[in-house]
Structure 1
Amino acid sequence: MKPVLVMILTAWLLGPAATSAPAAAEGGLRVDLDRESASTNVVATDELRLSAAANRMESLRTGFAVYRLPVTRPANTFEATVDSTVPPDARLAVDVRARHDGQWSEWTEIRPDAPTTLPAASGTVEVRVMLIAPDGTASPVLRSLTVTPSRTAAAPARAAGPVSYRVFATREGLVGGTTANGHVITRRDHFVALPSRRGLSRDRSGEYSVRVCAANGRCEWAPVWDVGPWNTRDDYWNERREQWRGLPRGLPQAQAAYQNGHNGGKDQFGRQVANPAGIDLADGTFWDGLRLRNNAWVTVTYLWTGGGPAGRVDTHGTPLNVRERPTRHSPNVGFAAEYARVGIQCSVRGDHAEGTQGRTNVWYRLAPGKFVSAAWVAGAAGVRAC
């Protein structure tokens, strides 16, 4: 179980009491605050603020709104001009991402002191405004947001394949609670939490998904719907991580604190780290997908860090069976959760199945000895035969 879920968004409670906006930069795009494409726990009119209702079981009110940025030319560098009021202990943050070769980049904060550059230029760009306030504190208020896109020298290309690391997994539980993306946790739910908002998917989507494999050989493909455990700015899978840059890539700060006394054995909030967790698993992922009985070491593949053919699991709610062979009755060796984005190695012919994508005998190999029927996978393209 997550040590204390209140840590999920408190990393952002570091903002100034208020900010005021200078004149918008030339070429800036003013965001229409009441035309968000996705949101949770906010009220958007000519201003953006948190709604009155709490969306967590703990002492923080959190919310966000996502906006599509109408760029006219591909861009990879962004500056933001913000007119806002941020009470003490509250926080407002503006993140940006861009879609390239069918995959979104990670969310990256546009800080006031320097432009933010993404890995590749794109004409499909979104910005996300995060609002956070402790109970009893007035909401941050965003009055205007102008984002200025530009194109600069290309960043290093994404690796050919996604990165994988062995980390310690804990069970999240907390049925009835609300995750950082606004999802209400259900019994036997299927998702994961990572200790950074950079790879946070929207509710009912899997833009950022992982493959988690246990020592027993079982795997689950699941979307990232929460932030935690322990830290909230520890994207340890990245070469240039947001915080704790002195640690080796792939080593969660909580693991370094627990095993080696990093940061005095404490997390970013000064709490004594009680386990080395680098990922939290929802109950269905933990018990049913991986068939774990206790917290355990697992191998996690961060699927958005690589390219190649991929599809989205579309089952109308239930997890998709992952089979040992491309047949309907071969052993179940894991699950692919609804909405998860799954990387596809190749395709084979097998048993016929009928699902949301029609009737087909095509099966996708997700990994050696791990197959799913194409009848339940949407949007796959460019898949070669095995």
Structure 2
Amino acid sequence: MIFIKASGECVDFSKNILDTVDFSQSQLGHSNFRECQIRNSNFDNCYLYASHFTRAEFLSAKEISFIKSNLTAVMFDYVRMSTGNFKDCITEQLELTIDYSDIFWNEDLDGYINNIIKMIDTLPDNAMILKSVLAVKLVMQLKILNIVNKNFIENMKKIFSHCPYIKDPIIRSYIHSDEDNKFDDFMRQHRFSEVNFDTQQMIDFINRFNTNKWLIDKNNNFFIQLIDQALRSTDDMIKANVWHLYKEWIRSDDVSPIFIETEDNLRTFNTNELTRNDNIFILFSSVDDGPVMVVSSQRLHDMLNPTKDTNWNSTYIYKSRHEMLPVNLTQETLFSSKSHGKYALFPIFTASWRAHRIMNKGV
């Protein structure tokens, strides 16, 4: 049966039980399906412009199909549905929010979640924002309920590991929590040491810091080395992404005052014409609220890879990130591990500083 409503007429199906109804190829723009119970019905090739399905319940185990339907401006608001196929639909201005109450006490939770994942992924590629939003809301619901390590995770990884889903940090941390732990362990091990990043590590850690900016201050020396090496990369995408990340951090409330105080040394910061001699890198010391060092890319490189002629005194040292007063500290105070307990103030330079002293027989 094909439903064709009269021009200007609003067909009201609200609060009805629609069981095994074939709506395919019907003209049902501006129709009202609010609070309907819909079972085993088909909406393929249906014109549903600006129709409302608010709090409708799609209760059948069989997939509800909207293939090739016009869903422009349709409201699926808090619908209870776990199966559906939106392949090749027109989805401009489509609004879709799902009622996840069926998660509670669900005897087939894996099947329920897998069906929702599959349904979300049937939305066309031009609805990427909607797909991502739906995926995030699903993951958030699972995180709130502390639902982890279920069988559906593998299927979720298979589908949500691709764009647009994987770009969202909430999704990425949920499906790749082991990887995040791996990255954090690596950072912890190299927090105060020299690091050489390969291309994949640059990409991974740029993403990690982008989505977890609170990690930057804690791993500042690691972070600065990443920024420096990524800016030296031949990959334009890596350079663009890392420069955007660094500018965001620099402009944060806790860091921007440092640049205001050292403006003369950072005059080129807001341009794309940086040189390796521009002092744009801020290194925090290993002591909370301890001295900060402002260096250029070239200076950082020279201190990590010293020659016999490297000058260790030509650095900008300030009292702390909150008191930008120049201070004169000895090399031993800055770089010797004996100066502040387990670590030097700037331990990433300790090994190279010692090597330089040996080189010059000044042990």
Range into which the TM-score falls when normalised by the shorter chain: under 0.3
Greater gyration radius:
2
Instruction: Give the TM-score of the pair, scaled to structure 1.
Output: 0.25
Higher RCO (CA 8 Å, separation ≥ 6 residues): 1
Q: Which has the higher strand share?
A: 1
Q: Which has the higher helix share?
A: 2
Instruction: Give the TM-score of the pair, scaled to structure 2.
Output: 0.26
